[in-house]
């Protein structure tokens, strides 16, 4: 176990402030991944080809697996899957509003652009967490990083292809214009906890630093392909991180939890073996 | 090879794309594979809403993986079908979209509630397993080969369905009641999965003679009932009074065919049932909406230029 002087230790070693900061970092990871995955699954049996169906299903399941790991880390701090997802209020969630927007049927460009904007941000976020002072975040980050690299390649190769086609390019450009302000909400603060997250070394880059790197990478890649990037855009509202969401999220949460409620469940079923650290 | 030679040689994995096979054989094998592949796609289409509605993250992962597996099975089976040289994959997928492609009766019925999911994932997939295990001995080698992987994954699906059924039947009174109601609704359709009794089946004789079918409908139905009636009872499901099933006491059963709605079955198998139209139309619209992506991919293929080379032009 690689510990440093500032290592926060495990779930039971945290002070109240430390736990609040760890929780805030973990929750957005869990919520972002779950809802991004949820929207990806829209494309299952709806993707353009059987092959692209299989690929986007892989991405969805990877993200679901990551969400599961992050929610599990939150649960170690005294929460349950029921309270975090199935019995919670939609406004308890802190995912970016980028991931909650619904797809219009057939808008594959939206799926790819959203995946790209998200995956670049995720790549940056994970590198800011790989040396986290909270061991569980460090360990799980390294498990997740390999898969996320593949997701980025998937989105980039679709963008390469679509950039060569006039109609597809127009659709991609429209998706960039629509989604870019929502993607900026990935770097919005959850509240006054961000300073603690940075000070305690839970994350080794500030939100501003992460956003700057994201803007540079996104602009460089998309401009190279001939797209316009709305670099002067402001983050969309609602941002999600501040617990404010679009109506789309309320509808989605309603659907996601409908069986749980209709069956009168009070427990979210576990079927997989526990993870070893 | 002529048909008589095929019949003389017919045996497990006997024929491959290297063989010169008569059109009658290739058409019969194509019909079976296309039906099977279409069924994988339409089964996935039916189950997809429950990825979202699954009542836990781990169940959600299992539903997403199952739906993905089925698309993968469709992909493998269309490939095995294409290798017969009768129809291309695009032609088969187009036929499925426009309502000409045929698929399993159970996938024509809408599924509204989570309690219905094990009716597909346990009973229908369990029934499919019975048939599929025999297809490992298909005389068309690509079909048999595809079944090796498919049967393994279907085994996982049945476990997933059984786990859901067990959980529901160990759940609240309400869950048990809802599950029993779903069982009563689905049970006749599940019995019809194996089609009419053998003397009424139209395609069996030739398919059996050339080694494409290795068991009769009756044999498969008996094998299924032998395993699944005890399992249903074990989980606390009550067998409906009708359709009547006579246990012959020797591992065979007789289903009273008059208790099943064969008019509905044949309407379903012609894609003319309300549910058929709903499922086919829903999927067609989803596929039409992404036609622009396929057109783009076709253009890039036909100009024989991958993204890189075209960019260099």
Give the integer Cα–Cα distance in Å for B17 and A248: 51
Assess A216–B contact: CB distance below 8 Å, yes or no. no
| Structural domain span for residue B98 | 3-312
pLDDT of A3 reads: 47
Predicted confidence pLDDT, tens digits, chain B (313 residues): 999 999 999 999 999 999 999 999 999 999 999 999 999 999 999 999 999 999 999 999 999 999 999 999 999 999 999 999 999 999 999 999 999 999 999 999 999 999 999 999 999 999 999 999 999 999 999 999 999 999 999 999 999 999 999 999 999 999 999 999 999 999 999 999 998 876 555 556 899 999 999 998 889 999 999 999 999 999 999 999 999 999 888 888 889 989 999 999 999 999 999 999 999 999 999 999 999 999 999 998 766 545 543 433 3
Give the integer Cα–Cα distance in Å for A70 and A29: 7
Residue B71 to residue A38, Cβ atoms within 8 A? no
With CA atoms as reference, the chain B residue closest to A266 would be B55
pLDDT of A48 reads: 98
pLDDT of A81 reads: 96
CATH of residue B176: 1.20.1260.10
Q: Please name each of the domains of chain A with its CATH number.
A: 13-262 (1.20.1260.10)
SS3 for B254?
strand
Assess A274–B contact: CB distance below 8 Å, yes or no. no
Please identify which residue in the block is written with the tokens 């000409």: B100
Distance from CA of A158 to the nearest CA of B (A): 10
Assess A49–B contact: CB distance below 8 Å, yes or no. yes
Q: Can you give the three-state secondary structure of chain A, one letter per residue? A: CCCCCCCCECHHHCCHHHHHHHHHHHHHHHHHHHHHHHHHHHHCCCCCCHHHHHHHHHHHHHHHHHHHHHHHHHHCCCCCHHHHHHCCCHHHCCCCHHHHCCCCCCCHHHHHHHHHHHHHHHHHHHHHHCCCCEHHHHHHHHHHHHHHHHHHHHHHHHHHHHCCCHHHHHHHHHHHHHHHHHHHHHHCCCCCCHHHHHHCCCCCCCHHHHHHHHHHHHHHHHHHCCCCCCCCCCCCCCCCCCCCCCHHHHHHHHHHCHHHHHCCCCCCCCCCCCCCC
Token output for A170:
């127009």
Predicted confidence pLDDT, tens digits, chain A (277 residues): 444 558 999 999 999 999 999 999 999 999 999 999 999 999 999 999 999 999 999 999 999 999 999 999 999 999 999 999 999 999 999 999 999 999 999 999 999 999 999 999 999 999 999 999 999 999 999 999 988 889 999 999 999 999 999 999 999 999 999 999 999 999 999 989 999 999 999 999 999 999 999 999 999 999 999 999 999 999 999 999 999 999 999 999 999 999 999 999 999 999 887 765 5
Q: Which residues touch B87 (CB under 8 Å, ≥6 apart)?
A: B30, B34, B81
* Complex confidence, ipTM: 0.96
- pLDDT, tens digit, 9 for 90 and up, residues B24-80: 999 999 999 999 999 999 999 999 999 999 999 999 999 999 999 999 999 999 999
CA A240 distance to own-chain centroid = 12
Please give the tally of structural domains in chain B: 1
Angle at B104 between CA B102 and CA B107, to 5 degrees: 110
Give the integer Cα–Cα distance in Å for A130 and A205: 11
Please identify which residue in the block is written with the tokens 């749980």: A260
Q: Which residues touch B93 (CB under 8 Å, ≥6 apart)?
A: B78, B101, B287
pTM of this structure? 0.95
Distance from CA of A7 to the nearest CA of B (A): 30
Residue B243: is the preceding peptide bond cis (ω within 30°)? yes
Q: Which residue in B24, B39, B231, B49 sits closest to B150, CA to CA? A: B39
Please identify which residue in the block is written with the tokens 């194509």: B30
Assess A106–B contact: CB distance below 8 Å, yes or no. yes
What does the DSSP 8-state code read for residue B260? S
């Amino acid at each position: 176990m690689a510990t440093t002087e500032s290592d926060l230790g495990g779930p039971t070693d945290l002070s109240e402030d430390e736990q609040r900061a760890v929780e805030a970092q973990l929750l957005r990871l869990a919520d972002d991944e779950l809802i991004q995955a949820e929207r990806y699954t829209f494309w299952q049996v709806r993707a353009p080809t059987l092959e692209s169906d299989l690929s986007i299903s892989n991405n969805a399941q990877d993200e679901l697996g990551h969400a599961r790991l992050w929610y599990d880390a939150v649960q170690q701090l005294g929460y349950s899957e029921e309270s975090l997802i199935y019995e919670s209020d939609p406004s308890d969630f802190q995912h970016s509003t980028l991931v909650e927007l619904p797809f219009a049927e057939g808008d594959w460009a939206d799926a790819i652009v959203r995946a790209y904007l998200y995956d670049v941000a995720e790549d940056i976020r994970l590198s800011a967490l790989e040396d986290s002072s909270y061991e569980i975040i460090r360990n799980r980050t390294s498990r997740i990083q390999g898969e996320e690299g593949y997701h980025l390649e998937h989105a980039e190769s679709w963008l390469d292809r679509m950039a060569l086609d006039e109609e597809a390019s127009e659709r991609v450009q429209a998706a960039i214009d629509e989604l870019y302000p929502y993607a900026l909400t990935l770097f919005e603060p959850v509240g006054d906890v961000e300073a603690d997250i940075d000070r305690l070394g839970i994350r080794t880059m500030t939100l501003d630093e992460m956003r700057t790197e994201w803007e540079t990478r996104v602009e460089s890649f998309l401009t190279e392909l001939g797209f316009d990037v709305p670099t002067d855009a402001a983050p969309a509202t609602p941002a999600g991180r501040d617990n404010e969401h679009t109506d789309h999220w309320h509808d989605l949460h309603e659907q996601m939890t409908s069986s749980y409620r209709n069956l009168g469940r009070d427990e979210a079923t576990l079927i997989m073996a526990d993870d070893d650290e | 090879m002529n048909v008589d030679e095929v019949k003389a040689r017919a045996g497990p994995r006997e024929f491959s794309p290297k063989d010169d096979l008569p059109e009658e054989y290739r058409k019969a094998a194509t019909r079976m594979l296309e039906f099977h592949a279409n069924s994988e796609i339409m089964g996935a289409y039916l189950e997809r809403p429950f990825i979202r509605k699954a009542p836990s993250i781990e169940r959600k992962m299992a539903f997403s993986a199952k739906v993905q597996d089925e698309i993968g099975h469709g992909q493998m089976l269309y490939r095995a079908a294409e290798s017969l040289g009768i129809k291309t994959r695009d032609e088969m997928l187009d036929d499925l979209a426009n309502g000409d492609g045929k698929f399993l009766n159970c996938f024509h019925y809408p599924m509204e509630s989570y309690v219905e999911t094990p009716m597909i994932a346990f009973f229908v997939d369990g029934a499919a397993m019975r048939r599929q295990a025999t297809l490992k001995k298909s005389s068309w080698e690509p079909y048999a080969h595809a079944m090796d992987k498919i049967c393994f994954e279907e085994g996982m699906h049945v476990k997933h369905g059984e786990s859901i059924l067990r959980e529901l039947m160990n759940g609240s009174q309400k869950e048990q009641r809802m599950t029993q109601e779903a069982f009563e609704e689905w049970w006749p359709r599940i019995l019809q999965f194996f089609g009419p009794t053998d003397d009424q089946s139209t395609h069996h004789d030739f398919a059996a003679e050339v080694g494409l079918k290795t068991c009769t409908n009756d044999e498969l139905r008996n094998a299924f009932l032998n395993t699944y009636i005890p399992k249903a009872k074990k989980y606390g499901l009550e067998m409906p009074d009708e359709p009547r099933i006579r246990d012959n006491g020797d591992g065979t059963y007789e289903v009273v065919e008059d208790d099943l709605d064969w008019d509905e079955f044949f309407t379903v198998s012609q894609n003319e049932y309300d549910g058929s139209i709903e499922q086919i139309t829903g999927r067609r619209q989803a596929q039409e909406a992404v036609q622009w992506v396929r057109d783009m991919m076709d253009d890039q293929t036909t100009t024989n230029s991958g993204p890189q080379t075209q960019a260099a032009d």
